[in-house]
Structure 1
Amino acid sequence: MDRIGTFPDEILTHILSFVPTTQAIATSILSKRWIHLWRHVPLLHFSDTRLKNLADNYRFNEFVYKIILSREAAGNHSINGFFLDIEYFYPKLAFCPSNPNITNWVDYAVECNVQHLDLYLDVLRNVDKHRNRKFPKLPFSVFNCRTLVSLKLHWFHVKECFSFDFVGFPSLKVLHLKEIYFDEYEEFILLLAGCPVLEDLDVFDVNFGGLETLLEFDNVFKSSSLSNLTTAYIRGCCCDFWLKALSNLKFLNIDFLKAMFMWWNGVLNN
């Protein structure tokens, strides 16, 4: 007996939101009732995507656009979560002309009042990535999204995103930043200051444009307070800039050895 088939559509789409979008689409072969259910799932999840060449890039871009168009045609104009996990075989693939599509997808998610945004980009040949030390530019629209509850970013360059009056993330509770490059240390300060209800902070290998900028905002950051934080995991940041600002935490984990090594390595590189 098909017991799960007796559930209302709302419950079925909720269940499908826990699997990647490709798996949700695969359920359309089960029966006529399931053909269109995936189009109403309140989440887009593209995981374990490995792109070896430009042809892979093109096919994946077409695949994502077809899904978005299908959802729009079905009357689904909201996205609760957008999760993107892409691994490139070569660093240059991350900077090819087709990759502005990532910006378009993020813009679309922001327009749909996304609450959970997880953007994970990486290169399988990590040696090349770290030697070149280049980062894809983070889409500008992320900083206009006031509906965000969680934001997780990996391998992005935050550039010119605070050239306007940044209003902050009034509902953001989770912020994870891994392998992120800021042009200015001030932008990192503004980002944290714009998260008044932040509860979970995870920072790994965050880099800045220059040591001079970092030292300039030493007193500003030390005097700030992230009073709603309950958990913080800090790696790859100079700890002297964190301890006072994180003094109200219930749980704090700092990798001192890795933090100091990565900070000193950044000083040498700059």
Structure 2
Amino acid sequence: MENSEFPSKKRTMEEVNDSINCLPEELLSLILSFLPTKEAVATSLSIKSWRKHWTFLTTINLNSNDFKDVTFFHQFVDNLLSGIKLENVKKFVLLCNYNDYEPHNLVVRGWINDVIDISKELEYLELHSEQPCVLPSHFSANELKVLKLSGQVLVEPRSDVNLPSLEALDLKSVRSASATRILVELISSRTLVKYLLLKF
């Protein structure tokens, strides 16, 4: 016999779901942004009323180790960046922990270029690459406050680097020529970096 003073578990879960679904779209997208992007997209797609929430993510956090193979990783990122509203993205983390994908440089460079060109609110950018990867020659992000580069990330000798709001620069294992190029550009643009980490 069911005790009327205690609602059933099923009813309680339905009420919780209703309460969550009543939250503003921006808040739901913010909650999803705390998950790794692969999980955030899967969660969004698994709930009928949340199907489009992944497109409003403000944080993109991608690690190739979370995917079964590099081809699937690239397909996922391509589909993600073509469907998400990039103008809302404030944080972009891309960790490419593989060294056997031939078109890697052009593909990753294209992803970075898309994020930088379209997002007007990008504040945090972190990129790690086990394969040589050249940053876009026109590397400009007015709102970027944190830049972290590691691994085989390269900067072209004639790159135009414009990061007027940069506060933290973290360069780990980046080739010295590329690191020097970034530093020279930042100094010449009078950017006031408050935190600097260099490890060659």
TM-score (norm 1): 0.59
Runs of 4+ in 1 over 4 A off after TM superposition: none
Counterpart amino acid of residue 202 in structure 1: L
> Sequence identity of aligned pairs in percent?
26
Preserved CA contact (<8 Å) 2:129 2:153: no
Preserved CA contact (<8 Å) 1:172 1:195: no
Distance 1:48 1:202 in 2: 25
Distance 1:168 1:143 in 2: 6
Residue in 2 aligned with 1:33? 49
Distance 2:190 2:61 in 1: 25
Deviation, 1:171, is: 0.4
Residue in 2 aligned with 1:222? none
Taking the TM superposition and a 5 Å limit, the aligned residue runs for 1:173-192 are 173-183=167-177, 187-192=181-186
Preserved CA contact (<8 Å) 1:143 1:168: yes
Residue in 1 aligned with 2:123? 115
Distance 1:175 1:184 in 2: 13
Residues 129-164 of structure 1, C-alpha deviations (whole Å, 9 max, x = no match): xxxxxx613312462233311110011343424x25
Deviation, 1:36, is: 0.9
SS at match of 1:49: helix
Given the alignment, which residue of 137, 154, 164 partners 1:170? 164
Residue in 2 aligned with 1:144? 140
Residue in 1 aligned with 2:25? 9
Deviation, 1:17, is: 1.3
Taking the TM superposition and a 5 Å limit, the aligned residue runs for 1:39-54 are 39-47=55-63, 49=65
Higher relative contact order (CA 8 A, sep 6+): 2
Residues 64-113 of structure 1, C-alpha deviations (whole Å, 9 max, x = no match): 11112222xxxx2412121111212xx4x16x224421001000011123
Residue in 2 aligned with 1:80? 90
Using the TM superposition, name which of 185-194 and 113-122 deviates more.
185-194
Does 1:105 pair with 2:111?
yes
Counterpart amino acid of residue 82 in structure 1: F
Distance 1:98 1:184 in 2: 19
Number of residue pairs the alignment of both structures matches = 180
Distance 1:173 1:199 in 2: 5
SS at match of 1:137: strand
Does 1:203 pair with 2:194?
no
Distance 1:174 1:195, change over 3 A: farther
Deviation, 1:186, is: 5.2
Distance 1:159 1:170, change over 3 A: closer
Distance 1:167 1:25, change over 3 A: closer
Counterpart amino acid of residue 56 in structure 2: H
Deviation, 1:189, is: 4.0
Deviation, 1:48, is: 5.1
Unaligned runs of 5+ in 1: 123-134, 206-270
Distance 1:98 1:156, change over 3 A: closer
SS at match of 2:134: coil
Unaligned runs of 5+ in 2: 1-14
Residue in 1 aligned with 2:8? none
Preserved CA contact (<8 Å) 1:138 1:159: yes
